[in-house]
Structure formats: structure tokens, C-alpha cells
């Protein structure tokens, strides 16, 4: 418990440092939206689509005001925005108030100006979703001591997800190594490959392969091949609240072939069930992300056999895609080999980089 509090304190310190750096950056000038009834809204123009203008207001964190485009009489946008016109032309630039019913767009990079009637604008800064989106992360940790002690610990964690309308490919890998005066004290690795075939917007059928090795669990290789149905219970933008809009959750269950090759103990192959849960909750414009992932393999042949692996963690955004993270990984084997504990916990602190190609404007 003390370790977890220490990890959390360090993570919050990193976030506070990043916030202090961001605070030194002068704020951009506010955009100005004037309505036909004379009302004026100050904030940041996020987008205009479907006949609605969305403004992130200055009087509330994350508050979005939506007004009908037909009710906008004047507009000033101080940041570069792509304006899409009826005939298909796209003009990227800032905007100032023009003659009645129009705006003056200063286009880049030539800095030329153009007066555009507002009725010709069909959208501004619309959300563009590419046909295939990718997101993932690569994080690492390393510690070493020399002198009176000689200790080394290394951690590498990677995740990659590619998603189209009908398919989702997920790759997950982890490697942990540690030695004390060149004497091995920990070494384990894990890898998961999973492909989801979406049958509808929410439901899918998965096929997965799980691999794991652990020197101190007498384990040469643990392999699980599984398939079954799944359901996306929560997807991005299901909720309108800013602190919930990026939350995702899926659950899946199926059947699995489960094989364990040991160094000393007798090898085992069983037919098992499989369930999996993955929860991701970004907050504060992705500055803090909570996540939970678990895979469980209960045996249908022997109720004494049950295997569970679970990751719980927090990821803190430092700058752009650079992040720090804390994670607790729990592995539970109800029927382990002789002289092997049934539970292992890994406490990890990492630095790394994340990327996400979705939600591009």
C-alpha cells in the first residue's frame, strides 16, 4: 500500500510540473460569436457542422455552447480553422467580422484575405475520422545501482491497436528483467494478439492468442488460444459530459485451449473458458488516464484450475505524447506447480510515449 501511495504522489507531482509549464504559455485571444439578437459569446470555436456552431466557453472548464449557425450574425476566429464551402472549396485560416452576413478569412500561407458570405459555409473545423485509426503506447523503466550493491531492473511495455469499421487488431506485450550482482531475480514476459470482427456497431467476434513465460514460476511457456463473442458497452462520445466522453469499455467471453509447459512440473493442457474486460478512462484532456484490463481462464474440466492476469494503472501526460505511468499487475494461478506461490504482483513505474490518430481535425 505504501508503494502505491508513493507511486501516486510521484505521478501527481509530474502532472503538476507539466501544468506549471503549460501555465507559463500566454493564452490565445478568445474567439467572438455575435448572435442575431445581439448576444455575444466569448470562447474558442471548436467546430461548425450539421447547422450547429460549437463554442468552448471561457466561463466553464470544458463547457460547450451550441448555437444554430443561422442565428450567427458575426464571427471572429483567432486560430486557424478549415472553412468548407458549398462548392467544395476549403479555406484554412483565421476569420474576422466582415460586411453584414459575411466574414473575412485570412488564408495561410499566403496571408491573402477573402470575404465569404456566411450562408456559403457548410462546416468549419469538422471532425475527420480516417477509415483506419491507430493508437498505442511504448513505455519503459530502468534502475541500476553500483558500488556497495549491484542491482538492475528493466521494464518494457507496449500496446498497439488498429481499428477500422469492421476490424480491430490489438497487440500487447510486456518484458520484466531484474538481477542482483548478476544473479537473476526476476524475468517474465507476456504477449497477446487479438483480432475482433465487428458484426454490428457494438457486437464483435474475437480470436486471440496469449503467450507468457516466467522463470520463477517454473514456466517455460503458457499458451492460450481463444475465440468467442464480445460487446462494446461504452464507446467514445457515448456521454456528453467532458469527463466521460472519452471513456471506453468492452467485455468478451468464449472458449479457450490452455496449455502450460513447465521446466520441472508436469505439463498440462486443458479446455477452458475465457473472459476479458478492458476499461479506459481519460480525464482532463487526456492529462490523466485510468485503465483496467483483465483476462481470466477458468477450467471447465477441473474447478481447481483457474488463471487470472490483471493490469490496473494510471497514465499521466507530461508533454504532447510523452507520458509517465504507474501500474500494478496481478497474476493469480489457483493450481500452481509445487513450491510456487499462487499470486505474483508487479509494481511498475515507467516513462514513454503514446499516440492516437483518431479525432483529427
- 200 with 315, same domain: the answer is yes
- 207 with 292, same domain: the answer is yes
Q: 97 lies in a domain?
A: yes
- 241 with 154, same domain: the answer is yes
| Residue the block writes with cell 483506419 | 132
Indicate if the pLDDT at residue 186 is higher than 80.
yes
Q: 309 lies in a domain?
A: yes
3-state secondary structure of 337: coil
Predicted structure pTM score: 0.72
- 142 with 118, same domain: the answer is no
C-alpha separations of 120 from 71, 108, 114, 115, 264 in Å: 15, 20, 13, 11, 75
- 315 with 237, same domain: the answer is yes
- 113 with 173, same domain: the answer is no
pLDDT class for 257, splitting at 50, 70, 90?
very high
For the residues 336-340, what does the mean pLDDT come to? Answer: 92
The domain that contains 265 carries what CATH number? 2.40.230.20
For residue 117, what pLDDT is reported? 93
- The Cα–Cα gap between 171 and 267 comes to 27
For residue range 82-114, list pLDDT tens digits in order: 999 998 889 899 999 988 889 999 987 666 788
Q: For residue 42, give its domain range.
A: 31-124
- 162 with 226, same domain: the answer is yes
- 138 with 271, same domain: the answer is yes
- 157 with 118, same domain: the answer is no
Boundary (domain end) residue, out of 124, 148, 176: 124
- 112 with 174, same domain: the answer is no
Amino acid at each position: 500500500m505504501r508503494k502505491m501511495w508513493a507511486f501516486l504522489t510521484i505521478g501527481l507531482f509530474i502532472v503538476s510540473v507539466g501544468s506549471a509549464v503549460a501555465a507559463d504559455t500566454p493564452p490565445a485571444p478568445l474567439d467572438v460569436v455575435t448572435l442575431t439578437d445581439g448576444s455575444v459569446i466569448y470562447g474558442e470555436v471548436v467546430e461548425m457542422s450539421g447547422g450547429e456552431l460549437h463554442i468552448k466557453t471561457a466561463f466553464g472548464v470544458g463547457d460547450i455552447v451550441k448555437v444554430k449557425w443561422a442565428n450567427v450574425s458575426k464571427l471572429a476566429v483567432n486560430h486557424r480553422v478549415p472553412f468548407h464551402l458549398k462548392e467544395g472549396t476549403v479555406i484554412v485560416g483565421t476569420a474576422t467580422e466582415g460586411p453584414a452576413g459575411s466574414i473575412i478569412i485570412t488564408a495561410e500561407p499566403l496571408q491573402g484575405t477573402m470575404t465569404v458570405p456566411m450562408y456559403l459555409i457548410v462546416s468549419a473545423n469538422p471532425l475527420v475520422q480516417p477509415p483506419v485509426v491507430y493508437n498505442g503506447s511504448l513505455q519503459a523503466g530502468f534502475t541500476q545501482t553500483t558500488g556497495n550493491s549491484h542491482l538492475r531492473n528493466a521494464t518494457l511495455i507496449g500496446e498497439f491497436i488498429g481499428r477500422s469499421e469492421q476490424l480491430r487488431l490489438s497487440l500487447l506485450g510486456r518484458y520484466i528483467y531484474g538481477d542482483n550482482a548478476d544473479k537473476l531475480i526476476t524475468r517474465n514476459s507476456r504477449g497477446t494478439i487479438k483480432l475482433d470482427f465487428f458484426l454490428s456497431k457494438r457486437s464483435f467476434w474475437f480470436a486471440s492468442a496469449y503467450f507468457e513465460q516466467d522463470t520463477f514460476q517454473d514456466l517455460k511457456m503458457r499458451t492460450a488460444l481463444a475465440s468467442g463473442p464480445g460487446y462494446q458497452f461504452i464507446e467514445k462520445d457515448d456521454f456528453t459530459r467532458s469527463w466521460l466522453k472519452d471513456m471506453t469499455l468492452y467485455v468478451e467471453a468464449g472458449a479457450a485451449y490452455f496449455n502450460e509447459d513447465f521446466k520441472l512440473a508436469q505439463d498440462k493442457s486443458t479446455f477452458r473458458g475465457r473472459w476479458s474486460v478492458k476499461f479506459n478512462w481519460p480525464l482532463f484532456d487526456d492529462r490523466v488516464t485510468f485503465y483496467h484490463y483483465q483476462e481470466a481462464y477458468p477450467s471447465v474440466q477441473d474447478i481447481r484450475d483457474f488463471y487470472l492476469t490483471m493490469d490496473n494503472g494510471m497514465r499521466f501526460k507530461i508533454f504532447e505524447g510523452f507520458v509517465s505511468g504507474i501500474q500494478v499487475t496481478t497474476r493469480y494461478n489457483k493450481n500452481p506447480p509445487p513450491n510456487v506461490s499462487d499470486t505474483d504482483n508487479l509494481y511498475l513505474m515507467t516513462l514513454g510515449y503514446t499516440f492516437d490518430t483518431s479525432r483529427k481535425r
